[in-house]
Amino acid sequence: MIHGVVMNELCLRAIGAAKRKGASYADARIVHERHQVIYTEDRRVSDISDSESVGIGVRVIAGGAWGFAATPDLTKAAVEKAAGRAVEVAKASALARAPKGIRWADEPPHHGVFRTPFKKDPLEVPVRDKAGLLLAVADEVLRVRGVKKCTGYMYFTREGRWFANTSGASFESDTVMGVAQYTATAVGPRTAKTRSLEAYPANAGWEHIEATPMLAEARRVGEEAVAKLKGRPGPTGRRDLVLMPSHLALTMHESIGHATELDRVLGMEESLAGSSFATIDKLGKLKYGSPIMNIVCDNTMPHGLATKGWDDDGVAGQRWPVIKDGILIDYQTSREVCHAIGAHRSHGSCRADSWASIPIIRQSNIGLEPGRKTLTPDELIADTKEGILIDGMGSFSIDQKRQNFQFGGDCFWEIRNGKKRAILSDVTYQAITTEFWGAMDAICDRRFWMPFGVGNCGKGDPGQTARMTHGSAPARFRKIRVSPGAK
Amino acid sequence: MNESRMMDTIRLALRAVQAGSAEVSVGYGSSITTRMADNIITQNVRQEGHNLSVSCAYGNRHGGASTNDLSDESIRAVVRRAEAIAKVARPDPEFMPPLPATEARKYLKVEGFVPAVLEATPRALASSLAAAARKVRARKLRLSGAVTSGWYLNARGNSAGLRCFHRSSEVETHMTALGAAGSGWAQESSHDPAGVNVGRVAAEACEVAARAQHPGDLPPGKHTVIMQPAAAAEFMMFVAWAGWDAKATDEGRTFLRGKLGKRIFGPNITLRTDPTDPRCPGGPFDWDGLAMRPLDLVRNGVVANLLYSRYWAKRKRKAANGWPTNYIMDGEGTSVDDMIRSTARGLLITRFWYVRYVDRMIPSATGMTRDGLFLIENGRITRPVKQMRFNANLVETLNKVEMTGTPVRSYMLVPALKIRDFPFTSTTKFG
């Protein structure tokens, strides 16, 4: 039985034990996660399963180095033992510690409770209703001639978190997340093509799924899968790209979000996820993009996937710009690394994916600010002579410094003489990050700004999965190199 | 945690089941990961966890639930939850009843656990990294990387009486050595701690890094390439994952539709699975207890088998063969040095990064080279070049393999490969 007062007492017990064992700093984090996943394949439900996990992670600084230990056992003796193991691990780490130990930025000790605003807990909605929606979608999609397969899934989580540290912080959070998605597959004699629709991942209740026109758009999604199958491949050469928010989310994630994580910039992820071209000597100078490019992190955003009240360093959620008028001006930081850019306070970008994982810098909710001039998507298309409109996410690949990238998409339309024309079967675009963002010459206005999200961002060693929101309005990029991909 | 306690948990769960049939699994893992960046230990993590999963069915209505709380009360609660879901689930025409107890007789002996893994400690791993870093620092390079040592238990049981248990160990280290203008990388992994040496891997990463400094420009285009085993493994994973599922293939949703029994790759390509291979032991059974057997996916360039789930096998009157727990690509034993000597002009690739499908139905993929790309001229390495992006048709590429090496364990067991006309489409600005 999870009881907040008991959880808080166990966290305090753990950090007390760590202190007694010699830790100069300690934090303890109990996380109780509940998940539900539903999969459908055509008109059958292939899997419904619930899962639950609870445990405590104890992180300490001892001997000038980090240690971490975790246990699912929430007895008093077990959490004290975990704290002791964390101190032992830290002392082992001190065999190769930084000469001056760990610098740890101050943060006022926070107290309170953060809760995701929601109306209907998706875990309490009957599974029959949830699966029923996906099956109704499949019925509709499979009516489209040429569509041979419809797969769907829903995933919901509810996470309770209790945190305390030796600086006096003590808080809890209660977050709710949901995502639903389906894919239509059209099969032809030589190949097959897919088209998807997603109720994007959001920290929100079941009402978020209900507000997405999953069923109403099912026929269109199926028809677009068939149109892709029958479409001609995209061109090879340079074209203007009109990128929708559902697509730009991933491009921003890979080419801006990861590149501005300060641990990567400092080389702390060099051996696995990689580093960044946006090094700190370029801070305040690097022309990341065109003057209309403004990138803002916002961990106070309602329904943002990274919005949790406080991060796992105990730092309060904040809103701050990282790119202003096209210039790199800041990073996503943690209490350990923010001093590298002369900051005295972390921006609060440090999160762990479970009680068993150590917090590391993860992307915040990071997005492109809307254009300041009035501009609708229709006006943007009307102003484009020879281009391609891309919706949804597809193939994606980027080098370990976040410079050379290649993206696909979920659906592509040719734009000719200001009009959206036929669907194309295959399009990829390739660019260097700064050249791509430097080619952005128009962004639709605030009315068309939409949040999307990434629900499975991998980073760290051992690997961790994180979620974050990336919002934007449709935007145009001039003369980007495109091709239909390898044949 | 041990086999006895896991089986007790399975018995307790199955006793609590009121549904017509049930499958229960208990997993356990214990691992230590010590991580370094710029010669400093930045992270040292000791993790331990277990999980109970229960799947219950009333006829062909099924549902599942899992928990990491193994108390008696929790075990009974998770069974009730799985049953509650199953009761409201719709009938699943593809549901397969639990396998009989006799399936256990088919399990092959897999030696995937070495007890020495139990002796690993955070201090021992940290010591090995610290020693490696001292040597690297002396070479004016910086070392980043990690070493992980872990062991894992997997127990399963069902209401038809089947019981199975398997334990495995895994030790892995990967190291990146950085100079002022270039990096090198190396990796080792094994189920046996004796097969992994942090100092050796760090030294190899340094050798690659020393050669990789100050890379020059080279235009993209089609080049003969020699993929070191790690690069070949990254590439071959995307071949192995591209479309062997029989149901999807029969429905026209993979590139292998109509290709079974046909030669589509070069005659020197053989890709297979064998859970008993001592170089890369897999698992003796699949997620539902199905016995895993050696199986050729490609034999001498011919698509030899597809992968059948129990449902699709029954429908198509084939033998179910589950999903591979390891992949092996055979090689002819040519050394990388001999491959280099045989190359008039080409590129030596240390490893790939961020490989992703572009179109699974071709299948085609894109990705970057990383941590050491070297120009070969007249049979020897002449200089490092800046990293490149490839866009390749995987089938065409595997028709252009000119030489294969001795298989090495990386992400899978794969030899170095020499391939002609490998298509690079762009470069980046660093080495």
Task: List the domains of chain B with CATH numbers.
Answer: 3-208 (3.30.2290.10), 215-431 (no CATH)
Closest approach of B291 to chain A, Cα-based (Å): 22
Closest approach of A30 to chain B, Cα-based (Å): 14
Residue A2 pLDDT grade (very low, low, confident, very high; cuts 50, 70, 90):
low
Residue A1 pLDDT grade (very low, low, confident, very high; cuts 50, 70, 90):
low
Q: What residue type is assigned to position B62 of the chain? A: H
Q: Is the pLDDT of residue A469 over 60?
A: yes
Q: Is the pLDDT of residue A84 over 80?
A: yes
Residue A487 pLDDT grade (very low, low, confident, very high; cuts 50, 70, 90):
low
Compute the mean pLDDT over every residue in chain A, rounded to the nearest whole number. 96
| Cβ neighbours, 10 Å, residue B126 | 26
Most A-contacting residue of B26, B32, B42 (CB-CB within 10 A), to test interface: B42
pLDDT in tens, B361-395: 999 999 999 999 999 999 999 999 999 999 999 99
Search chain B and give the residue with CA nearest A405.
B389
pLDDT for res A143: 98
Angle at A443 between CA A440 and CA A444, to 5 degrees: 160
Bridge-based pairing of strands A44-62 and B61-67 is parallel
Q: Is the pLDDT of residue B277 over 80?
A: yes
Cα separation, A392 vs A387, in Å, equals 17
Name which of A72, A67, A74, A63 is nearest A11 in CA terms. A74
A89 and B46 within 8 Å at the Cβ level: the answer is: yes
Task: Say what percent of chain A tops pLDDT 70.
Answer: 99
Closest approach of A379 to chain B, Cα-based (Å): 31
Cα separation, B190 vs A48, in Å, equals 35
Name the residue among B33, B40, B129 with its Cβ closest to that of A462: B33
pLDDT in tens, A211-268: 999 999 999 999 999 999 999 999 999 999 999 999 999 999 999 999 999 999 999 9
Q: Which residues of chain A have a CB within 8 Å of the CB of B429?
A: 277, 403-404, 432
Q: Is the pLDDT of residue B169 over 60?
A: yes
Where would I find the H helices in B139-274? 198-212, 229-240, 246-250
Structure tokens at A340: 């590298």
Closest approach of A479 to chain B, Cα-based (Å): 17
pLDDT for res A98: 84
- What stretch of H or E contains A183? strand A170-187
Q: Which residues of chain A have a CB within 8 Å of the CB of B363?
A: none
pLDDT for res B44: 87
> Exposed, middle or buried: residue B262 (CB in 10 Å: 0-12, 13-18, 19+)?
exposed
Q: Is the pLDDT of residue A428 over 90?
A: yes
CB B232 within 8 A of CB B416: yes
Closest approach of B343 to chain A, Cα-based (Å): 25
> Exposed, middle or buried: residue B71 (CB in 10 Å: 0-12, 13-18, 19+)?
exposed
Q: Is the pLDDT of residue A4 over 80?
A: no
pLDDT for res A54: 95
pLDDT for res A142: 98
Residue B117 pLDDT grade (very low, low, confident, very high; cuts 50, 70, 90):
very high
pLDDT in tens, A28-65: 999 999 999 999 999 999 999 999 999 999 999 999 99
E strands in A358-474:
360-361, 366-368, 386-391, 396-398, 404-407, 411-416, 419-424, 428-432, 440-443, 450-459, 464-472
pLDDT for res B336: 98
Interface check for A461 against chain B (CB to CB < 8 A): the answer is: yes
Residues ≥6 apart with Cβ < 8 Å to A75: none
DSSP letter assigned to residue A371: B
pLDDT in tens, B291-349: 999 999 999 999 999 999 999 999 999 999 989 999 999 999 999 999 999 999 999 99
The strands making up A319-324's β-sheet, listed across from edge to edge, are A327-328, A319-324, A295-298, A366-368
pLDDT in tens, B20-42: 999 999 999 999 999 999 999 98
Residues in chain A: 487
Interface check for A105 against chain B (CB to CB < 8 A): the answer is: no
B429 and A85 within 8 Å at the Cβ level: the answer is: no
Q: Which residues of chain A have a CB within 8 Å of the CB of B391?
A: 406, 428, 483, 485-486
Residue A5 pLDDT grade (very low, low, confident, very high; cuts 50, 70, 90):
confident
CB B355 within 8 A of CB B341: no
Q: Which residues of chain A have a CB within 8 Å of the CB of B424?
A: none
Residue B47 pLDDT grade (very low, low, confident, very high; cuts 50, 70, 90):
confident
Task: Say what percent of chain B tops pLDDT 90.
Answer: 95
For B394, phi and psi rounded to 5 degrees? -70, -35
Give one DSSP letter per residue of B70-113, joined into a string: -SHHHHHHHHHHHHHHHHHSPP-TT--PPPPGGGGGGPPP----
Q: Which A residues in the span 340-379 are in contact with B, Cβ-Cβ below 8 Å?
A: 356-358, 360
**b/e code A185-213 from CB counts within 10 Å (16+ = b):** bbbeeebbbbbbbbbbbbbbbbebbeebe
Interface check for A271 against chain B (CB to CB < 8 A): the answer is: yes
Q: ω into residue B215 within 30 of 0, thus cis?
A: no
Residue B429 pLDDT grade (very low, low, confident, very high; cuts 50, 70, 90):
confident
pLDDT for res A485: 77
Bridge-based pairing of strands A170-187 and A192-202 is antiparallel
Closest approach of A373 to chain B, Cα-based (Å): 35
Structure tokens at A21: 């064992």
Cα separation, A181 vs A214, in Å, equals 8
Cα separation, B187 vs B146, in Å, equals 10
Q: Which residues of chain B have a CB within 8 Å of the CB of A400?
A: 353-354, 368, 370
Search chain B and give the residue with CA nearest A458.
B354
pLDDT in tens, A105-136: 999 999 999 999 999 999 999 999 999 999 99
Closest approach of A365 to chain B, Cα-based (Å): 23
B122 and A88 within 8 Å at the Cβ level: the answer is: yes
* Residues paired with residue B352 on neighbouring β-strands, in sequence order: B369
Cα separation, A239 vs A387, in Å, equals 5
Q: Which residues of chain B have a CB within 8 Å of the CB of A51?
A: 53, 65-67
C-alpha torsion angle, residues B86, B87, B90, B93 (rounded to 10) = 60
Task: Say what percent of chain B tops pLDDT 70.
Answer: 100
Name the residue among B35, B90, B423 with its Cβ closest to that of A45: B90
Q: Which residues of chain B have a CB within 8 Å of the CB of A272?
A: 146, 174
Cα separation, A217 vs A43, in Å, equals 18
A267 and B37 within 8 Å at the Cβ level: the answer is: yes
DSSP letter assigned to residue B216: B
> Exposed, middle or buried: residue B84 (CB in 10 Å: 0-12, 13-18, 19+)?
middle
Interface check for A92 against chain B (CB to CB < 8 A): the answer is: yes
pLDDT for res B285: 96
Q: Which residues of chain B have a CB within 8 Å of the CB of A135?
A: 90
Q: Is the pLDDT of residue B231 over 80?
A: yes
Q: Which residues of chain B have a CB within 8 Å of the CB of A397?
A: 354-356, 366-368, 389
Q: Is the pLDDT of residue A486 over 70?
A: no
Task: Give this prediction's pTM.
Answer: 0.95
Residue A13 pLDDT grade (very low, low, confident, very high; cuts 50, 70, 90):
very high
B85 and A49 within 8 Å at the Cβ level: the answer is: yes
A267 and B38 within 8 Å at the Cβ level: the answer is: yes
A192 and B361 within 8 Å at the Cβ level: the answer is: yes
Q: Is the pLDDT of residue B111 over 60?
A: yes
Q: Domains along chain A? A: 4-230 (3.30.2290.10), 237-483 (no CATH)
pLDDT for res B43: 87
Q: ω into residue A370 within 30 of 0, thus cis?
A: no
Q: Is the pLDDT of residue B282 over 80?
A: yes
* Helix, strand and coil percent figures for chain B, each rounded to 5: 25, 40, 35
Residue B46 pLDDT grade (very low, low, confident, very high; cuts 50, 70, 90):
confident
Residues ≥6 apart with Cβ < 8 Å to A111: A169, A170, A171
Our separate counts of H helices and E strands in chain A read 9, 24
Please compute Rg for chain B using Cα positions: 24
Mean pLDDT, residues B144-165 taken together: 97
Cα separation, A18 vs A24, in Å, equals 9
Cα separation, B351 vs B66, in Å, equals 38
| Cβ neighbours, 10 Å, residue B420 | 15
Name the residue among B85, B127, B364 with its Cβ closest to that of A50: B85
Query: How many CB pairs below 8 Å do chains A and B form together?
Result: 257
Q: Which residues of chain B have a CB within 8 Å of the CB of A85?
A: 46
Q: Is the pLDDT of residue B142 over 70?
A: yes
Search chain B and give the residue with CA nearest A69.
B46
Task: Say what percent of chain A tops pLDDT 90.
Answer: 95
CB B243 within 8 A of CB B363: yes
pLDDT for res A392: 97
Q: What residue type is assigned to position A115 of the chain? A: R
B252 and A148 within 8 Å at the Cβ level: the answer is: yes
CB A473 within 8 A of CB A446: yes
**b/e code A454-479 from CB counts within 10 Å (16+ = b):** bbebebbbbebebbbbbbbbbbbbbe
Name the residue among A89, A268, A398 with its Cβ closest to that of B37: A268
Name which of A310, A291, A292 is nearest A300 in CA terms. A310
pLDDT in tens, A220-235: 999 999 999 999 999 9
